[in-house]
Chains A and B, each alone.
Chain A
Amino acid sequence: MTEATYFILVALMEEPLHGYGIIKRARAKSLGEVDLAVGTLYSALDRLSETGWVRLDREETVNGRPRRYYRITDDGVRAVRAQAARLQRAAALVLRPSGATSG
């Protein structure tokens, strides 16, 4: 899972968001490290919809434009949790050296 995909899924874990909402939330959650371009975001959303990790939640009209809200699915939550566990194991190797030296 790429970093962009990871933070898109993380952004959607609290509530369904629309495109710009995802960009803002991902930026905040990553402490400014992940700044999604719009083209990248929608390519990722297409792929994630196809995988079944994200789906359309609802559509509103704001200033005459459709605004679509996306929701993470149960499969998506499982995938992002699995990735978080992998990242945690990898981080533990460095951040808790006692675990690495005790063996």
Chain B
Amino acid sequence: MSHALERRYRRLLRAYPEHYRAEHGEELIGTLMEAARPGAQRPPLRETAHLLAGGFTARVRAARAPGVPPWADGLHLGAVVVAVATFAQFPVLPYVNYPAWTVLGIVLMVALVRGWTRVAAPVAAVAAVWTSWPIVWGGFYVPVVNLGPLYGDLAPVAPYWVVAVVSVVLAVRRAGADRTAGRVRWWGATMPARSSRWLLVPLAGWALQLTQVPTYEPTWVVSRAGVEVAALLLVLAATLTARDGRWALAAAVHLLPGLVYLAENLLVTSARGFLYWGVVTALVVASLVAARRVHAKA
């Protein structure tokens, strides 16, 4: 048996997550070496491509939250993304304009990432109602405390409502599941946790504010759109390879506030703006269609 081939296959197996390699690595190497042509020194292109795809699939599958239905997991991830993206862009630094609001944001994001839906739901609901105050009450009734920003447009309040509605749905779902299981818990993880690395997003956003980098400049705007498009392409690939609709659902939740923004600014949106929204929406729709198809086929 060729040692060079085995070494090359071992290198390829790094496409798989570590826990998967620990569990199945040797088994895969055994099968790959059995299936190899005698005397082969390099992995065939086809096998290489399928191992890379298999590794991606295993990583996607490992990122699923265990013990919850896919729709709840997808909604949860969508809410996490919307929350961290919203607070990353909220002007926190260098002048601490809204200390209470920043604390509220941190509590909300930690609760969402840790899976404490029953903490996240009321906090998100307060944030949504607070920011919409002028829309609901007009200018008549100005609150006496300075908790956070008040908006007169739908676009800036939309993310707060998306996070609030999703958090409430998840909290209600979990309450129902607990009742059937005969236990009720108000504190602690009520949903599986998400990687705390999500909290790096707001930290990075605030760090940028501190450096006062002009993030409205074209290079920044284009690179942010590039990251978003790349992420949505990964969502589409994940939907197809892992045959799982949750990633498409998360992407759709993430898109909702953007669509509200687009609807409110339709008349002032440039051709470039339409191109961006068109691409992003098309990718989310493609993922949703793919999710439906893989669901029907499974």
Contacts and interface: CB of A to CB of B under 8 A. Distances in A.
Interface of A: 1-2, 18-20, 23, 37-43, 46-47, 51, 62-63, 65-68
Nearest to A19: B31
Interface string B17-29: 0000000101111
B27 A67 contact: yes
B30 A66 contact: yes
Contacts of B29: 65
B118 interface: no
Contacts of A23: 31, 35
Interface stretch (B45-53, B104-112, B155-163, B255-263): B45-53
B168 interface: no
Contacts of B31: 18-20, 23, 38, 41-42
Interface in B276-298: 297-298
A103 to B, nearest CB: 28
Interface string B116-131: 0000000000000000
Given A18-B31, A39-B54, A40-B50, 20 more contacts: A2-B297, A19-B27, A19-B30, A20-B31, A20-B34, A23-B35, A37-B46, A37-B47, A37-B51, A38-B28, A39-B53, A39-B55, A40-B54, A42-B24, A42-B54, A43-B58, A46-B58, A47-B243, A62-B30, A63-B30
Contact of B297 (A1, A39, A65): A1
Given A37-B46, A37-B47, A46-B61, A20 B35 contact: yes
A67 B51 CA distance: 19
B30 A43 contact: no
Given A1-B297, A20-B35, A38-B32, A68 B241 contact: no
A62 B1 CA distance: 14
B57 interface: yes
Interface string B182-211: 000000000000000000000000000000
Interface residues of B, number: 26
A68 B27 contact: yes
A23 to B, nearest CB: 6
A90 to B, nearest CB: 15
A63 B6 CA distance: 14
Interface in B147-172: none
A1 B298 CA distance: 6
8 contacts: A19-B31, A23-B31, A23-B35, A41-B31, A43-B57, A46-B61, A63-B30, A67-B30
Given A19-B31, A47-B243, A39 B26 contact: no
Nearest 10 A-B pairs (CB), nearest first?
Answer: A39-B54, A39-B50, A37-B50, A19-B31, A20-B34, A65-B30, A39-B51, A43-B57, A43-B54, A20-B31
Contacts of A47: 243
Nearest to A37: B50
A20 B36 CA distance: 10
A27 B62 CA distance: 30
Nearest to A51: B298
Given A1-B297, A23-B35, A46-B58, A65 B26 contact: yes
B247 to A, nearest CB: 16
Contacts of B55: 39
A38 B241 contact: no
B201 to A, nearest CB: 30
